[in-house]
Amino acid sequence: MYSFLLKCASLYSEAAIYWGRKASGLLIFCRDDGTILLLKRSQRVENPGTWGIPGGAVGGGFHGSDEHDEKDPENDVFIGSAFKETEEELGVVPKDVKYFGETAFRDGNFTYKTFVYGVPLKEKKRISNSIQLNWENTEWKWFKLNELPANLHTGIVFSLKDLAKRKFKWRKNGT
């Protein structure tokens, strides 16, 4: 499984365009069936048509203040922003979650933190029945790790690659 993810991640690359200086998102996965929730980005956002996770700028994006230009804020600021963005984009926020870790992508003053949360099958079903996408995304789907779409957002590629290197356990049985 790990070699597949690393091979898959190596296939995708594109020029980096960042919305703001600091950003965060949630990678939600179901350990009961080994799936992750991905959203297809609309034509009205950066990197349209790619599959990624809910997330966005910490603070005001391009038009906000530059208070976080140099130093990263505390982790709880990133986490709060990730959950806020998830609620905005999905219309629902996961409740029965377990924190499994995070990845951090840095490029100069830009930092994007992906927080990995697992949900049980019952919570996956509740989330799925409650999703109401906003304008930022056009589709959503739970994907098995060996059936990821070809047009992944570079941010999720980075996170999956990082987690694969760390031999992250996606399933309860350890795979």
pLDDT tens digits for 58-116?
975 543 444 445 688 999 999 999 999 999 999 999 999 999 999 999 988 889 999 99
Q: Which H or E run includes 88?
A: helix 75-90
Question: What's the rounded mean pLDDT across residues 149-162?
Answer: 94
86's tokens: 């998830």
Sketch out the chain's domains with CATH numbers.
2-165 (3.90.79.10)
Would you state the pLDDT for residue 125? 98
pLDDT category, 148, cuts 50, 70, 90?
Answer: very high
Q: Does 132 have pLDDT greater than 90?
A: yes
Question: What's the rounded mean pLDDT across residues 148-152?
Answer: 95
Q: Does 1 have pLDDT greater than 60?
A: no
| C-alpha closest to that of 40 among 32, 48, 31 | 48
Would you state the pLDDT for residue 34? 93
106's tokens: 């840095």
Query: 149: which residues sit within 8 A by CB, 6+ positions away?
Result: 38, 51, 143
Q: How far apart are CA 34 and CA 142, in angstroms?
A: 9
Considering only residues 56 and 64, tell me which one the structure prediction assigns the higher pLDDT. 56
Q: Which H or E run includes 23?
A: strand 22-30
- CB-count burial class (<10 Å; 0-12, 13-18, 19+) for 104: middle
Would you state the pLDDT for residue 138? 97
Rounded to an integer, what is the distance from CA 90 to the centroid of its chain? Answer: 12
Q: Does 11 have pLDDT greater than 50?
A: no
